């Protein structure tokens, strides 16, 4: 069996491929042609261990736009959810469909699934990474401001799956990433190291925002951490993105958040609903960037 091409991490594509994918996503967004159906008859299985609005709707719509279809599978719908081995599930499901998207609690599940899948596997979010979101975020930056190479991005908040994917994006697209997280919530040390001098860690959110072109944050308690909500609210109380933080960045800095967001927690309402925020473009671009990804993986 030929090994299929997977998208588990941004590092699975080359820098040139990511740039080409972003350009393609912009073309797809601006030239909606119902007769263009490169995935006619093809099927994407979508396995979700956690909730989703954007990921589910964008992949399902993308497949339909391209003439294919998508099957939504929650843990209640599959034997995987009842403990069928990952290998067996991957062998069987991949024998029937053309690509598989997974959103899992544990990153190791996606890795093991991909090892045994005969078709491309796409990471739709794990506890470690959220690479599809980064394709949309980068498309959004390119649309508003042009290439991100050499620019400065600030990640302020939890050193979580989104932060890890921002580190990978900094490596691939060659931008500086200024991170500020509470001491116990820093991103993975090895990942920080892998980015070399591109990633800098600051103690203060104001310092991390200095000279920035893009300020990004995410929820303080990710899916699966709901029981830590109160503890995290205390730990992160000085990390809210306020207008004061935005004012420490460049005057034309953008604000992004992958959503869902909690106004008054990780971001002040006047920032997320303000003039510098591009959250709704960012969310819409999930559709266009993932269509470019599906084309790359499934039409090769
Ligand atoms: N940003 C994101 O992945 O949203 P969903 O959880 O709604 O898919
Ligand atoms: N960090 C968040 C992202 C949600 C899209 C989570 O994992 O829940």
Average pLDDT over residues 21-41: 96
Q: Name the residue with higher pLDDT: 1 or 39.
A: 39
The CATH number of whichever domain residue 272 belongs to comes to 3.40.50.1370
Q: What does the pLDDT read at residue 208?
A: 98
Is residue 230 over pLDDT 90?
A: yes
Residue 237 and residue 101 share a domain = no
Residues 225 and 161 in one domain: yes
41 with 177, same domain: the answer is no
52 and 173 in a common domain: no
Give the residue whose CA is nearest to atom 2 of ligand 2: 222
Is a pLDDT exceeding 70 seen at residue 71? yes
The per-residue pLDDT for range 241-255, each reduced to its tens digit, is 999 999 999 999 999
Give yes or no: residues 45 and 142 share one domain.
Answer: no
Residues 26 and 62 occupy one common structural domain:
yes
281 in catalytic set = no
- Pocket lining for ligand 1, CB < 6 angstroms: 52-55, 125, 133, 258-259
Indicate whether 83 belongs to any domain: yes
| pLDDT tops 70 at residue 227 | yes
| Containing structural domain, residue 93 | 10-130+286-298
Token pair 């909500």: residue = 229
Closest of 259, 255, 262, 267 to residue 57, by C-alpha: 259
Q: Is residue 91 part of a domain?
A: yes
Look at the alpha carbons of 248, 251, 254, 260 in this order and tell me if their dihedral is positive or negative.
positive
- In this structure, are 267 and 151 located in the same domain? yes
- CA torsion sign, 132 to 135 to 137 to 140? negative
If 0-12 CB within 10 Å is exposed, 13-18 middle and 19+ buried, where does residue 193 land?
exposed
**Mean pLDDT, range 120-136, rounded to an integer:** 98
Question: 130, 164, 232, 257: which is the annotated catalytic residue?
Answer: 130
pTM given for the model: 0.98
Mean pLDDT of the chain: 97
Q: Does residue 139 share a domain with residue 257?
A: yes
Ligand 2 contact via 160 beta carbon (within 6 Å)? yes
Question: Are both 229 and 166 inside the same structural domain?
Answer: yes
103 carries an active-site annotation: yes
Tens of pLDDT, residue by residue over 179-222, are 999 999 999 999 999 999 999 999 999 999 999 999 999 999 99
Number of structural domains found in the chain: 2
Residues 84 and 103 in one domain: yes
212 and 75 both lie in a single domain: no
258 catalytic? Reply is yes
Residue 2 pLDDT level (bands cut at 50, 70, 90):
confident
CB atoms near residue 260 (< 10 Å): 12
Give the DSSP per-residue string, the chain: -PPPP-BSSGGGS-HHHHHHHHHHHHHHHH---TT--TTTT-EEEEEESS--SHHHHHHHHHHHHTT-EEEEE-TTTSSGGGT--HHHHHHHHHTT-SEEEEE-SSHHHHHHHHHH-SS-EEE---SS--HHHHHHHHHHHHHHHS--TT-EEEEES--SHHHHHHHHHHHHHT-EEEEE--GGGPPPHHHHHHTGGGEEEESSHHHHHTT-SEEEE--SS-TT-GGGHHHHHHHTGGG-B-HHHHHHS-TT-EEEE-S---BTTTB-HHHHTSTTB-HHHHHHHHHHHHHHHHHHHH--
Closest-lying ligand 1 atom to the alpha carbon of residue 56: 8
Q: Is pLDDT larger for residue 75 or for residue 166? A: 166
Residue 292: its pLDDT value, please?
Answer: 98
| Residue 218 near ligand 2, beta carbon < 6 Å | yes
Task: Give percent of the chain with pLDDT exceeding 90.
Answer: 98
196 in a structural domain: yes
Cβ–ligand 2 distance for 222 under 6 Å, the answer yes
**What confidence tens digit (pLDDT) does each residue in 143-165 have?**
999 999 999 999 999 999 999 99
**CA 83 – ligand 2 centroid, Å:** 24
Does the CB atom of residue 91 touch ligand 2 within 6 A? no
**Percentage, residues of the chain above pLDDT 70:** 100
Q: Does residue 1 carry a pLDDT above 90?
A: no
Q: Are residues 148 and 234 in the same domain?
A: yes
């Amino acid at each position: 069996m030929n090994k299929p091409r997977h998208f588990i991490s941004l590092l699975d594509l080359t820098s040139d491929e990511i740039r080409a994918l972003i350009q393609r996503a912009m073309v797809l967004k601006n030239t909606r042609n119902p007769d263009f159906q490169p995935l006619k008859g093809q099927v994407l299985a979508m396995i979700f261990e956690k909730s989703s609005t954007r990921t589910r709707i964008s992949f399902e719509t993308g497949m339909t736009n391209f003439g294919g279809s998508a099957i939504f599978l929650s843990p209640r719908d599959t034997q995987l959810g009842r403990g069928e081995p990952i290998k067996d599930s991957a062998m069987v499901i991949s024998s029937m469909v053309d690509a598989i998207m997974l959103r899992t609690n544990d990153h190791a599940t996606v890795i093991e699934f991909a090892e045994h899948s005969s078709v491309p596997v796409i990471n739709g979010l794990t506890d470690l990474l959220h690479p599809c979101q980064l394709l949309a975020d980068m498309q959004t930056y390119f649309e508003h401001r042009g290439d991100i190479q050499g620019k400065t991005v600030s990640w302020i908040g939890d050193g979580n799956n989104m932060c890890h994917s921002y580190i990978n994006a900094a490596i691939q697209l060659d931008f500086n990433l200024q991170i500020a997280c509470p001491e116990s919530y820093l991103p993975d040390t090895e990942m920080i190291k892998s980015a070399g001098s591109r990633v800098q860690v600051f103690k203060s959110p104001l310092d991390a925002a200095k000279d920035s072109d893009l300020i990004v944050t995410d929820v303080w308690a990710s899916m699966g951490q709901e029981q830590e909500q109160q503890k995290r609210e205390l730990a992160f109380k000085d990390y809210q993105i306020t207008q004061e933080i935005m004012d420490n960045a460049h005057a034309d800095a953008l604000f992004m958040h992958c959503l869902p967001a909690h106004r008054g927690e990780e971001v002040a309402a006047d920032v997320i609903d303000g003039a510098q925020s591009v959250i709704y473009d960012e969310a819409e671009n999930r559709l266009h960037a993932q269509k470019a990804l599906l084309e790359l993986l499934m039409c090769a």
